[in-house]
A and B are shown apart, each in its own frame.
Chain A
Amino acid sequence: QNILTVCFSVGYSAVALNHVIDFKEKKQEIIKPVSPSELFPSLPIVQGTSKKIKVLTRLTLVVSDPSHCNLLRSTSANIRLYDIIAVFPKTEKLFHIACTTLDVDLVCINVTEKLPFYFRRPPVNMAIDRGIYFELLYTPAIKDSTMRRYAISNAISLMQVCKGKNIVISSAAERALELRGPYDVANLGLLFGLSESEAKAAVSTNCRATMLHGETRKSACGVVYTVKKPRKVEEEETAVPACKKAKTQA
């Protein structure tokens, strides 16, 4: 909870709480996510605008076996309670399956060790067409210098294949001191090889698109989200003046 307070003070407008499920043990039950209203009696306001900060819930599945993917198609009601679903593939086949057919919003890219597979262009392009984003974590880069090297090398190889599109940078912070401000994170995007506009988008617009993609997935049709462009100066993380229509899931 302390971490969230720090987030808000630094200037984020929406935060997602992650819950990781690892499939090495059998018979894992997907538990209900912690409702954000239990943590905060009243959500504080984003600095600079008058809207409240959103707290979302997110589930990450660590898959190392194709049978784990069946869980996504199961009718377990608890999965539907999460706003964003992310998958963490460990093999090349799973990466291909996740990009092409799985019903997820984010594909996590491992930054803590050398990738056992190289990225190929066809699945990455298909993922971009479907609206799936690739996620990079930056907290390991703060903790350890070997992990820093792996993070940067994996990020650069991803950039070479996807040309900087559909990237989201996020932190797996476990403590308040591991968090960094949004502009700092955008600067890290420059280190990873993104251009300036892409780096800023990786923190702001792409994250928002992921949220909308999650809503689309929940509602099983399309989502049209219109925002009126305000006259005064606004913060980057909040409303992007656009009419966003997500693709329908056939």
Chain B
Amino acid sequence: RRELPDGGARPNAAQFKQLVVTALRDLHGEVGAALPVDVLTYEEKTLSAILRVISSGLVKLWSALTLLGFYQNRRCAFRVLQTSPFLLALSGNSRELVL
């Protein structure tokens, strides 16, 4: 799950996907931009999304998102909240489990 704290712009779902692909292309070139990434959900209110990528492409995607600095000439930051191979695991925070 990723959260986008922005300066003020609000991308919609298609622009968000375009942003992710641009980030990949800036860092890893055409090969990176060709990496199949799916946006599973996108909430425009909180600017957070759930992305899906093949496991071998996780490092590339994550590093590309981390190093993205600008969106429409505005500073932005991607904040990765959770990564897991299972969708169900994204609903809870395993560090705050009370046993």
Residues on A close to B: CB < 8 A? 10, 47-48, 141-143, 145, 148, 175, 177-181, 183-185, 187-188, 190-191, 232-233, 235
Q: How far is the CB of A141 from chain B (nearest CB, A)?
A: 5
Q: Is the interface of A mostly helix, strand, loop or mixed?
A: helix
Residues on B close to A: CB < 8 A? 5, 7, 26-27, 59, 62-63, 65-69, 75-80, 83, 94-97, 99
A47 vs B81: C-alpha distance in the bound complex, in angstroms? 14
A233–B94 contact, CB under 8 A? yes
Question: Closest chain A residue to B66 by CB distance?
Answer: A184
Query: Besides A48-B95, A181-B80, A187-B63, 17 other CB < 8 A contacts?
Result: A142-B66, A142-B67, A143-B69, A145-B26, A177-B77, A180-B79, A181-B79, A183-B83, A184-B79, A184-B80, A185-B66, A187-B59, A188-B63, A188-B67, A191-B59, A232-B99, A233-B97
A187–B62 contact, CB under 8 A? yes
For residue B80, which residues in chain A have a CB less than 8 angstroms away from its CB?
181, 183-184
For this complex, 19 residue pairs linking A to B, each with C-beta atoms less than 8 Å apart, are: A141-B67, A142-B69, A143-B69, A145-B26, A177-B77, A179-B77, A180-B77, A180-B79, A181-B80, A183-B80, A183-B83, A184-B66, A185-B66, A187-B62, A188-B66, A190-B59, A190-B63, A232-B99, A233-B97
Q: How far is the CB of B35 from chain A (nearest CB, A)?
A: 15
